[in-house]
Amino acid sequence: MPHDHDPLEEGPALRVRALEELMVAKGLVKSETLDSIVEYYERETGPRNGAAVVARAWTDPDYKDWLLRDGSAAINAMGFSGFQGEHIRVVENTETVHNVIVCTLCSCYPWPVLGLPPTWYKSPAYRSRVVREPRAVLAEFGVSLPDEMQIKVWDSTAEIRYLVLPRRPEGTEGLSAAELADLVTRNGMIGTALI
Amino acid sequence: MDGIHDMGGMHGFGPVPCDQDRAFDYDWQKRAFALTEALAWSVPFCADEHRAAIERIAPADYLRLDYFEKWAVAATALVQAAGLVDPQEVASGRKRFDIVQADHPAVDPADVLAATKAGAEMTFPASTAAPRFAVGQPVRVQANSPAGHTRVPRYVRNHLGLVVADSGVFQFADTMATGQGPSPQHCYTVEFRASDLWGNVADANGSVCLDLWEDYLEPA
């Protein structure tokens, strides 16, 4: 619901406010704890974390090997950890394989490195279609891949969360890791964009 | 559960809303998210129980409600199932009875942040359970269609795949969701050829990989 004056907003907004007040009255939650949780996810998680991981892998072959072998440990070593990121597998895009991530059953997503998922990732259209017709879905994101490119879709059905290691763009040999990180997009790390 | 949440492969949902690009559009969505996270501590409930509660939302409501409204509806159902609120309180928003506070302490900001950063413990690294399947082995997903929570999407049920990784011993979502404990077991990554899943409309050389617990699989 992206519109600023969506009439549906009133119902859930009231419902959630009433629920919070009741839960506070019951002593089950504290409002300041909710503030801290929101602030944490907005400030300390997000795609810039994932971008730093990708840029380091692009510039440090040993780190890249570690990241592909044991994603969780290599990511934890950069200070990114926590709920929905306990077990992360990093899958590498190559000249022959393109990876795309989904959770068809709910909305599983690697929170510490990408933040909370965007609305489209949670949408019935994405969840239903990307496992069946990934090329058509990628086309809607403006991504067109050669026919011979193998597309691997990773459906996050258990406790492992996935992060795509995109291909490093050509002509970036002279860039630092920090400059490279600026090129890396969230969708690139889901697999719905190329970098 | 063969519910509306099990969307993989369904037709009819139209184009992907690629421009709906944010995690939150409204403040109430942030409150609903954080409320669920905080209630998970005090009630308590785990992620699998919360997912199962979302899956029990009637299909028409599941499609109509906002994602975070579903989180709030499911969290409310779990608080109610724990006997900590009654339906009149939920309807009116007014407290009618006290709970045993010591059994359900509200979490403080510092504790919730520390735990959030630490993550949940879902594996059993010391387990000596021998894996039933090996990397490279063909397996079939069982045809079972349980009424309760499961992490087998319908689109791989009864299909053949190849084990591509053994990720170790994990707690089992199906039993975690019903409070029956972790039932530790190996969890495998299984690759399915797109043509085996979708037949003649499949992407020629595509594949789909899923993480599947041992109890879901049988030798092919």
For B20-59, the pLDDT digits (tens) are 999 999 999 999 999 999 999 999 999 999 999 999 999 9
First to last CA, chain A: 28
Residue B175 and residue B113 share a domain: no
CATH 3.90.330.10 describes domain A47-190 = yes
Contact B197 A131 (CB under 8 A): yes
Asked if residue B194 belongs to a domain, the reply is yes
CB-nearest to A16 from B15, B17, B31 is: B31
For chain B, how many structural domains are there in total? Answer: 2
Measured distance CA(A158)–CA(B92) in Å, rounded: 38
Number of residues assigned to chain B: 220
Last residue of a domain, one of B84, B118, B152: B118
CATH code assigned at B67? 1.10.472.20
The Cα of A53 is separated from the nearest Cα of chain B by a number of Å equal to: 17
In chain B, which among 130-149 make CB contacts under 8 A with chain A? none
Q: Is pLDDT above 80 for A6?
A: no
Supply the range of the domain harboring residue B74: 27-118
- Residue B204: predicted pLDDT: 86
- Residue A7: predicted pLDDT: 52
Measured distance CA(B104)–CA(B45) in Å, rounded: 11
Averaged pLDDT, B138-155: 97
Question: Largest Cα–Cα distance of chain A, in whole Å?
Answer: 60
Smallest CA-to-CA distance from B207 within A13, A135, A131, A43 is with: A131
Active-site annotation of A, residues: 103, 106-108
Asked if residue B166 belongs to a domain, the reply is yes
Q: Is pLDDT above 90 for A1?
A: no
Q: Is pLDDT above 50 for B67?
A: yes
The DSSP call for residue B180 is S
Asked if residue B18 belongs to a domain, the reply is no
Chain centre to alpha carbon of residue A98: 16
Q: Is pLDDT above 80 for A92?
A: yes
- Residue B177: predicted pLDDT: 98
Smallest CA-to-CA distance from A144 within A103, A72, A192, A89 is with: A192
Judging contacts by C-beta atoms under 8 Å, the chain B residues touching residue A116 are 23-24, 33
Q: In this structure, are residues A86 and A159 in contact, taking their beta carbons and an 8 Å threshold?
A: yes
CATH code assigned at B200? 2.30.30.50
Asked if residue B79 belongs to a domain, the reply is yes
In chain B, which among 5-64 make CB contacts under 8 A with chain A? 5-35, 37-39, 42-43, 51, 54, 63
Residue B168 sits at the vertex; the CA angle it makes with B162 and B170, to the nearest 5 degrees, is 110
- Residue A8: predicted pLDDT: 52
Average pLDDT, chain B: 97
Asked if residue B71 belongs to a domain, the reply is yes
pLDDT one-digit tens code per residue, B164-186: 999 999 999 999 999 999 999 99
Residue B113 and residue B33 share a domain: yes
Q: In this structure, are residues A127 and B31 in contact, taking their beta carbons and an 8 Å threshold?
A: no
Domain limits, chain A: 47-190
- Residue A2: predicted pLDDT: 44
Residue B157 and residue B198 share a domain: yes
Residue B104 and residue B76 share a domain: yes
- Residue B127: predicted pLDDT: 95
Confidence (pTM): 0.96
In chain B, which among 167-196 make CB contacts under 8 A with chain A? 167, 170-171, 173, 187, 189, 191
Contact A87 B123 (CB under 8 A): yes
Judging contacts by C-beta atoms under 8 Å, the chain A residues touching residue B14 are 125
Asked if residue B46 belongs to a domain, the reply is yes
Contact A81 B187 (CB under 8 A): no
Q: Confidence band (pLDDT; 50, 70, 90) for A3?
A: very low
For residue A42, count other CB atoms closer than 10 A to its CB. 14
Q: Is pLDDT above 50 for A90?
A: yes
Q: Does B123 touch chain A (CB under 8 A)?
A: yes
Averaged pLDDT, A149-158: 98
pLDDT one-digit tens code per residue, B110-133: 999 999 999 999 999 999 999 999
User: Which residues make beta-bridge pairs with B51?
Assistant: none
Asked if residue B19 belongs to a domain, the reply is no
Residue B114 and residue B34 share a domain: yes
